C-alpha cells in the first residue's frame, strides 16, 4: 500500500520557530504586549495574520488595519532577513534520514506548511525536489487547525487521507491532521502535543522499529 507522508516545515524540518518567535516578540513590544515562549506554542502552525490578531488580543488597545499591515510587513521582512542565511546545519536532528528512508520505499511525500515563505526556505535548503507535492500558506484559505491544507496535500498526492501520516510540531497542526482523519505524529514536547496519536521529542528520538513499521508495513 502506498502511503502519503506529510511534513510540516517550521519546527519539523528546520528550526525556524525561534525566528518566528523573535520577530513576533518585536511586534508585541511595539504593541505594548508581553509575549512569552510558552505562549508562542499556541502560534506554531498558525498563519501570519491570525498570529498578529492573537497577540493583539492581549491588549485592550485598538489598532487600525493600516497599522496591522505595517506590522505584518515588518514581521515578514525581519523574518526573511533572518532565514536567508540559513544553512542545512539548521535542519532538525534526524529529519533527512527519515525523509530518505520514506523516499527509498516509494511512498509519496508532501510538504504541508502554513508559511508563505515555505518555497523560499525549501530552495535555501535545497529540498524542493524532495517533495512530490508542496502545499503552503499560499495554497489554502484556512490555516491550521483547519484540515484544508492536509486534505489538499492528500488529494494532490492521490492518497486517501486515512493512508496519510502527518509530522507536526504545532498543536494546531496536530489538530488539523486529526481533523483530516490522518495519523498525527507530534515532533516535540508531549506536554504540548498530547493530542497527537504518537509523539517523539525529535526524529532522532524516533524508535526505529516504530519507523520501520510505519514505512515498511504494507497493510
Residues designated catalytic: 8, 10
Among 114, 125, 153, 193, interactor with ligand BG6 by CB under 6 A: 114
* Interatomic CA distance for residues 89 and 92, integer angstroms: 8
Strand partners, 187: 200
Q: Which of 10, 2, 12 is nearest to 206 (CA)?
A: 12
Stretch 72-91 residues interacting with ligand BG6 (CB under 6 A)? 76
Stretch 82-111 residues interacting with Mg ion (CB under 5 A)? none
**Least Å distance between CB 170 and Mg ion?**
4
CB atoms closer than 10 angstroms to residue 214: 20
If you ran DSSP here, which 8-state letter would residue 92 be given?
P
Handedness of CA 107, 175, 93, 88 (dihedral sign): positive
| Cell numbers that stand for 103 in this block | 523516499
| Segment interacting with Mg ion (CB under 5 A) among 43-51, 54-62, 104-112, 122-130 | 43-51
| Interface with ligand BG6, residue 116, by CB under 6 A | yes
**Least Å distance between CB 51 and ligand BG6?**
5
| Interface with ligand BG6, residue 113, by CB under 6 A | yes
CB atoms closer than 10 angstroms to residue 169: 26
Measured from the CB atom, the residue of 25 and 76 that comes closer to ligand BG6 is: 76
Q: Which residues bind ligand BG6 (CB under 6 A)?
A: 9-10, 20, 43-48, 51, 76, 113-117, 137, 170
Amino acid at each position: 500500500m502506498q502511503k502519503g507522508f506529510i511534513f510540516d516545515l517550521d519546527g519539523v524540518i528546520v528550526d525556524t520557530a525561534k525566528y518566528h518567535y523573535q520577530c513576533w516578540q518585536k511586534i508585541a513590544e511595539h504593541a505594548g504586549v508581553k509575549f512569552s515562549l510558552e505562549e508562542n506554542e499556541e502560534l506554531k502552525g498558525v498563519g501570519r495574520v491570525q498570529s498578529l490578531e492573537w497577540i493583539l488580543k492581549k491588549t485592550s488597545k485598538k489598532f487600525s488595519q493600516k497599522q496591522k499591515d505595517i506590522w505584518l510587513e515588518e514581521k515578514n521582512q525581519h523574518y526573511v532577513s533572518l532565514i536567508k542565511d540559513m544553512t542545512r546545519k539548521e535542519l532538525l536532528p534526524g529529519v533527512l534520514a527519515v525523509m530518505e528512508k520514506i523516499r527509498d520505499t516509494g511512498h509519496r511525500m508532501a510538504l504541508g506548511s502554513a508559511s508563505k515563505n515555505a518555497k523560499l526556505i525549501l530552495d535555501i535548503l535545497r529540498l524542493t525536489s524532495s517533495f512530490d507535492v508542496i502545499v503552503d500558506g499560499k495554497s489554502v484559505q484556512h490555516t491550521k487547525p483547519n484540515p484544508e491544507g492536509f486534505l489538499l496535500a492528500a488529494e494532490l498526492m492521490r492518497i486517501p487521507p486515512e493512508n496519510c501520516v502527518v509530522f507536526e510540531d504545532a498543536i494546531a497542526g496536530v489538530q488539523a491532521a486529526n481533523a483530516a482523519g490522518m495519523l498525527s505524529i507530534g515532533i516535540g514536547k508531549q506536554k504540548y502535543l498530547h493530542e497527537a496519536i504518537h509523539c517523539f521529542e525529535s526524529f532522532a528520538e524516533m524508535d526505529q522499529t516504530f519507523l520501520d513499521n510505519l514505512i515498511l508495513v504494507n497493510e
